[in-house]
Amino acid sequence: MKTFNSSFSVAELVDELAASTPKDGLEINELFERIGKEGLLVAVMVLTVPFLLPVSIPGTSTPFGTLIILICLSLITGGSLRLPSRLGRLRVKQKHMRLIADKASAVLRRLEGWSRPRLTAMTATRPLRILHALAIVASAAGMMLPLPLPLSNAIPAYAIVFLALGLLRRDGLLLLGGYGLLTATVVYLAVVYAIGFVSVKALWGG
């Protein structure tokens, strides 16, 4: 089990997980055992990493998004995290873990190198931390939408990483960046659905 502090490197953990993933893959339950219950925000970022890639791993947005939401709900309520057995047995393939480590850990390293405690009043109270966790939930919901469009997963995924890392490092500037990306997600989805609505209406001659 890992011990986490404000300087812990998520990128290094991703590399370690990829290197130690067996050929038959790694179950989510095993992943959580390796991270440990103290690293829930770290787990959120690890689960988001695949969606930082230009092309996401097929079939992962709904289960990973659901896991992120469950983690945040446990952070909000202060209760223990309990995973549905089906989600806990979900297996991430070795090749996907290596792809994640090769392509996305560099992004995490850059963000972690840039982050530091600042605007710490934004994480000073429990109500504010709950608000940030709810923002992660909203971003995860956006990431789960089945839209085969460019950036439909990546924008909310980056919002999650910014928000989770901002909470972990007490970096208010990162949190503000996360809210900016969440706003961009909402605008992006609104435009997509507006275009879809107009197109359907035109098709039906309305």
pLDDT in tens, 24-81: 888 888 888 877 766 788 888 888 888 887 655 666 778 888 999 998 988 888 877 7
Can you read off the two tokens belonging to residue 141? 């919901």
Helices (H) and strands (E) in the chain, counts: 9, 2
- Residue 5 — pLDDT band, cuts 50, 70, 90? low
Of 204 and 128, more confident: 128
Residue 1 lies in a domain: no
What is the mean predicted confidence (pLDDT) over 181-198? 87
Can you read off the two tokens belonging to residue 36? 């440990």
Residue 78 lies in a domain: yes
Q: What is the pLDDT of residue 183?
A: 95
- Residue 205 — pLDDT band, cuts 50, 70, 90? low
Domain of residue 21, residue span = 10-203
Task: Report whether pLDDT(105) > 80.
Answer: no
Neighbours of 103 (CB within 10 A): 15
Q: What is the pLDDT of residues 121-149, one digit of tens each?
A: 999 999 999 999 999 999 999 888 877 67
Residue 43 lies in a domain: yes
Task: Report whether pLDDT(95) > 60.
Answer: yes
Q: What is the pLDDT of residue 186?
A: 92
Q: What is the pLDDT of residues 168-178, one digit of tens each?
A: 889 999 999 99
Which 8-state DSSP code applies to residue 123? G
Average model confidence (pLDDT) for the chain? 83
| Count of structural domains, the chain | 1
Radius of gyration over every alpha carbon of the chain, rounded to an integer in angstroms: 17
Q: What is the pLDDT of residue 172?
A: 95
Residue 5 lies in a domain: no
